[in-house]
Structure 1
Amino acid sequence: MGMSVTISAADERDAEQILKLQYLCYQGEAELYGDYTIEPLTQSLAALKEELAHGRVLAARLGPEVVASVRGSIDEEGVAHIGKLIVHPRMQRHGLGGRLLSAIEERLRADGEVRRFQLLTGHRSEHNLRLYRRHGYAPAGTERVDDALTLITLTKDPQTPAYVASA
């Protein structure tokens, strides 16, 4: 039997692997929206290291390799922002994204009082939308960025279970 995936806090030593994985994972989003200048594809290593120093970043590892990651932070109003949930293409469709989403929610709850969870995704990102709905997130608003992209804000009450069965 192979190695199992472990989830733990990421640190500066993981920055290069996370950035390379981020670049790989956001290629599909860039293609979907016809925009290769999106922030995940242009983020610098220094900016990622800053996030690692000041926010919550989790990494899923298969042995020494980072195969997935997610970031989160809580603002002064108690809104827990979750972003950049990425899973290596060869590891997708095995529940790892859901495990990471649940793990970051748990870590953020431990960091302080969370009034609600919030995340963003593009309107064409159906796989992301399905994942978030399964985990209790509901659309709370939209923002049209340009002709190709509308961002959907999804929120979740912190009391909602980590996984919600489909109706």
Structure 2
Amino acid sequence: MHITDIKPDQRLLDLQHASYAIEAQIIGDDRIPPLHEDLAALKAEPLLWLGARNEAGDLVGAVAWEETPGLVDINRLVVDPGALRQGIGRTLVKEVLARAGGRKVIVSTGRGNTPARTLYERLGFTHVEDVEVIPGLWVTSYELV
């Protein structure tokens, strides 16, 4: 697997939609905003992106974040449904953590998304709170200090 900086494009958008479709199935709710985002909206987001490519050069995962001098906010983590459970998400998050340089890192995921929650907890993130962002849609927040 090769990790590189990437820019939003159609392939990333397709990967994002496929990945969030899996999360929607897991949590039983498809009202996840990135699931319905179009390419123009994706490109308009002020996010930094890393992509994971397999040996064939195909994009199989990506992570996006925003940062300030004191905080890194992991905004998205997407993995190709055909490449789940291969350590791609873990590798991408660990790269963001390495780039955080000791800053506090925060991340949120669907409360019912057990695979994502397990990943963050195994990487040392601490549960902060559960918030109902819209009626019936719960998000769990984590931090790593």
TM-score (norm 1): 0.78
Q: How does 1:32-111 map to 2 (within 5 A)?
A: 32-51=26-45, 54-62=46-54, 63-75=56-68, 78-109=70-101
113, 124, 131: which one aligns with 2:112: 124
Q: Which range moves more in the overlay, 61-70 or 126-135? A: 61-70
Give the alignment's Cα RMSD to 1 decimal: 1.8
Task: State which structure, 1 or 2, has the greater radius of gyration over its C-alpha atoms.
Answer: 1
**Aligned partners of 1:74 and 1:80 also within 8 Å:** yes
SS in structure 2 of the partner of residue 57 of structure 1: strand
The CA distance in 2 between the partners of 1:108 and 1:71, in whole Å, is 13
The CA distance in 2 between the partners of 1:150 and 1:35, in whole Å, is 10
Unaligned stretches of 5+ residues in structure 1 = 158-167
**How many equivalent pairs are there?**
144
How many angstroms does 1:55 deviate by? 2.7
Structure 1 residue 153 corresponds to structure 2 residue 141: yes
The CA distance in 2 between the partners of 1:36 and 1:23, in whole Å, is 11
TM-score (norm 2): 0.89
The CA distance in 2 between the partners of 1:38 and 1:97, in whole Å, is 19
The CA distance in 1 between the partners of 2:20 and 2:105, in whole Å, is 22
**Residue identity in the other structure for 1:128:** A
Q: How does 1:19-34 map to 2 (within 5 A)?
A: 19-34=13-28
**Residue identity in the other structure for 2:6:** A
**Aligned partners of 2:67 and 2:73 also within 8 Å:** yes
Report Cα offsets for 1:83-111 as digits up to 9, x if no partner. Answer: 211111221111111100011222333xx
Greater strand proportion: 2
Unaligned stretches of 5+ residues in structure 2 = none
How many angstroms does 1:146 deviate by? 4.2
**Residue identity in the other structure for 2:72:** A
